[in-house]
Amino acid sequence: MGQTVAEQILSHRAGKTVKAGDFVVVEPDVVMSHDSLTPGIIKILRQELGMEKVRHPERLVFVLDHVAPASTVGTADLQNQVRRFAQEQDVRLFDVGRGICHQVLVEEKIAAPGKIVIGSDSHSTGYGSVGAFGTGMGSTDIALIWATGRTWLRVPETYRVIVEGRFPPGVDAKDLALKLCREITIDGANYMAVEYHGLDWMPLENRQTLASMAVEMGGKAGIVPPFGVAAEHFSTPEWLSIDPGAQYARTLTVDISSLEPQVSKPHAVDHVVDLSDVAGTHVDVVFIGTCTNGRYEDMKAAAGLLAGKRIAKNVRLIVTPASSRELARAAADGTLTALLEAGATLTTPGCGMCMGRHQGTLGEEDVCLSTANRNFKGRMGSPNAQIYLASPAVAAATALTGAITDPRGC
Amino acid sequence: MSTVWKFGADVDTDQIVPGRYAPYMRPDADVGEAAFIEARPEFAKNAQAGDVIVALENFGCGSSREYAVEALRRRKVGAIIALSFARIFYRNALNLGIPLFESPEIVAALQDGDEVTLDIPNQRVRLGEKSYLLPELPVFAREILEAGGIVPYVRMHGRFPEEE
Ligand code: SF4
């Protein structure tokens, strides 16, 4: 019988053929944790499991990105604890300023096709952008992997998304990701892997946008099969393929050739409408960043609209590059200058204000349009703040006017 | 008696414990005090050990933050009964030993503020004269809960659930 990509990867690592619904115990290839949770995982390892050493330090990766650099004495002390632990145990650590975990692991090719990457973070689905099985788990599960090298999983059913056509001008992968949340809804892919077909033409950064948002539909993984134009980034194992005989629990076909810019309204990711429904809504803060849309191409799309202009008087435009490498690319070709001259505030590569902890936390009355992946109440600061989600182009057009604006008219 | 705290659909982890209240941000605070601190401040103030959370679809969606479950564990939540759960939350709750059930019948029957008797060993919830059957859990879930969570389970059995 044919296999989905998730079944192929889990079978390969389990050393036997498994199918949706089976339970497997596997050794993950990579175990990522970030500054926000690593201190707690260390505590579980030591206090609950009574262990001092991690089993396979070479499989672990720490990234300090969630509060970067530290904002309080408490976070500074905990980060130092993580640095010490990494040194003691010989674990790779990417320190503050290097970037968001999901971006860094892709850039460093630590996440790679056919690998199982478990992260202490729900957006670990993003590793599916390179054809890995990426999924998020809680701290206790991660501590158990540190201790044993293994974890157990239920092999997910797969939700196949077939994409037809190409984006019209002014519309991009974020609009597609939001459109999928709109169609599939916030739990429509709960417990499933989402497998995206028809995207051989799609560049890596767009695949990252899509895969990171698979979890917003409940997805356990979001996998773009690692073939096509992005192939330069991958070395795909020969056992991995799109199997014509695979069984999919559900299939959705989307034609993107007439897709309109999409906007998600407060306070749930699947409250998605065509931009025209909310055009003109007043906005105070525009945020360009996160593992979903903080890359060079995102900054470039924004700079294309902002170059030579100034943002509206009462708008704060905060740009947080997803990584130091993406920031360097933006600095090298004038993209960054265009953003800064237009009035943008630049912050350290990392998660920035995505979780409302620093670098732009929203107040009571703030209305924010963000390129992030989540707009839950209170996510970015005050529970009374309003968060809209959209593409980088919509973000830039909105920064120019101070109201939600269609980039195609700019 | 246990009080029922009823919620709607898609209660996300930012509502259970906002990221700003994570142990990382407040290392000296009890995360249990932050349970629903903004979404339902009366819960944060008044919830008692053994109280029952009832919710519609997709309870616990969003982040992987286990401290959302840890906060409910510290408040000694007796059980969570919902129409459905988000994947990571379900796993985290089992891992920390919080019983959780999917039951449309009980969700429909119980209203916010109801006083009920929760009897997990006998798989019962009683409301006044009425008694409702808690649904049978999958074997792995029952075993993990009986052990008191995944850490005691692995220590006890020396293996993961369903591992040969
Ligand atoms: S950028 Fe936001 S969504 Fe992405 S890992 Fe950081 S906090 Fe999570």
How much is the pLDDT for A409?
A: 84
**Contact between B39 and A23 using a beta-carbon 8 Å cutoff:** no
CB A285 within 8 A of CB A366: yes
Decide if B86 and A218 are in contact by the 8 Å CB cutoff: yes
Report DSSP state, residue A71: -
Which residues are A61's β-sheet partners? A32, A92
Does A34 touch chain B if contact means CB atoms closer than 8 Å? Answer: no
pLDDT of res. B164: 75
Q: Which residue, B10, B99, B27, is CA-closest to B67?
A: B27
Identify which of A373, A375, A387 to mutate to test ligand 1's pocket (most ligand atoms within 8 A of the CB). A373
Closest-approach residue (CA) in chain A for B63: A122
In A169-284, which ranges are E strands?
A: 193-197, 221-223, 250-255, 262-264, 272-274
Dist. CA A65 → ligand 1 center (Å): 9
User: Considering chain A, what percentage of its residues have pLDDT values greater than 90?
Assistant: 98
Instruction: Kindly list the distances between the CA atom of residue B116 and the CA atoms of B43, B57, B79, in Å, as whole numbers in the listed order.
Output: 17, 21, 12
CB A75 within 8 A of CB B19: no
| Res A247: pLDDT | 97
Residue nearest to atom 6 of ligand 1 (CA): A351
Domain annotation for chain A: domains and CATH numbers? 5-255 (3.30.499.10), 262-409 (3.30.499.10)
**What pLDDT, on the 0 to 100 scale, is given for residue B20?**
95
pLDDT reported for residue A368: 98
List, for residues A268-312, the tens digit of each pLDDT value.
999 999 999 999 999 999 999 999 999 999 999 999 999 999 999
Q: Which residues of chain B have pLDDT under 50?
A: none
Question: Across chain A, what does the average pLDDT equal?
Answer: 97
CB contact under 8 A, A190 and B84: yes
Condensed to tens digits (0 to 9), the pLDDT of residues A11-32 reads 999 999 999 999 999 999 999 9
Dist. CA A406–CA A397, nearest whole Å: 7
CA-nearest residue for atom 4, ligand 1, is: A291
Please tell me if the CB atom of residue A351 comes closer than 6 angstroms to any atom of ligand 1: yes
Q: Is the CB of A380 under 6 A from ligand 1?
A: no
pLDDT at position A232: 84
pLDDT value at residue A231: 84
User: What is the spatial distance between Cα A197 and Cα A161, in angstroms, rounded to a whole number?
Assistant: 6
CA–CA separation, B88 and B154 (whole Å)? 19
Q: Of B20, B9, B22, B80, whose CA–CA distance to B47 is shortest? A: B80
Is A47 within 8 Å of chain B by CB?
A: no
Domains in chain B with CATH codes: 2-134 (3.20.19.10)
Q: Is it true that the peptide bond before A69 is cis, omega within 30 degrees of 0?
A: yes
Is ipTM > 0.85 here?
yes
DSSP conformation class of A350? S
Please check whether residue A4 is in contact with residue A243, taking contact to mean a CB–CB distance below 8 angstroms: yes
Residue A40 reports pLDDT greater than 90: yes
Query: Which residues lie closer than 8 Å to B150 by C-beta, 6 or more apart?
Result: A140, A141, A144, B94, B95, B96, B144
- Number of H-type helices and E-type strands within chain B: 7, 7
Give the pLDDT band of residue A339 (cuts 50, 70, 90).
very high
Total length of chain B: 164
pLDDT in tens, B125-145: 999 999 999 999 999 999 999
Determine the pLDDT at residue A166.
98
CA distance A161 to A188: 12
Reported as a single tens digit per residue, the pLDDT across A217-276 is 999 999 999 999 998 888 999 999 999 999 999 999 999 999 999 999 999 999 999 999
Q: Name which of A172, A410, A175, A173 is nearest A311 in CA terms.
A: A410
3-state DSSP assignment of residue B20: helix
Structure token pair of residue B158: 């020396």
Report which DSSP code applies to B22.
S
Q: How far apart are CA A10 and CA A221, in angstroms?
A: 12
Which ligand 1 atom is nearest residue A354's CA?
Answer: 2
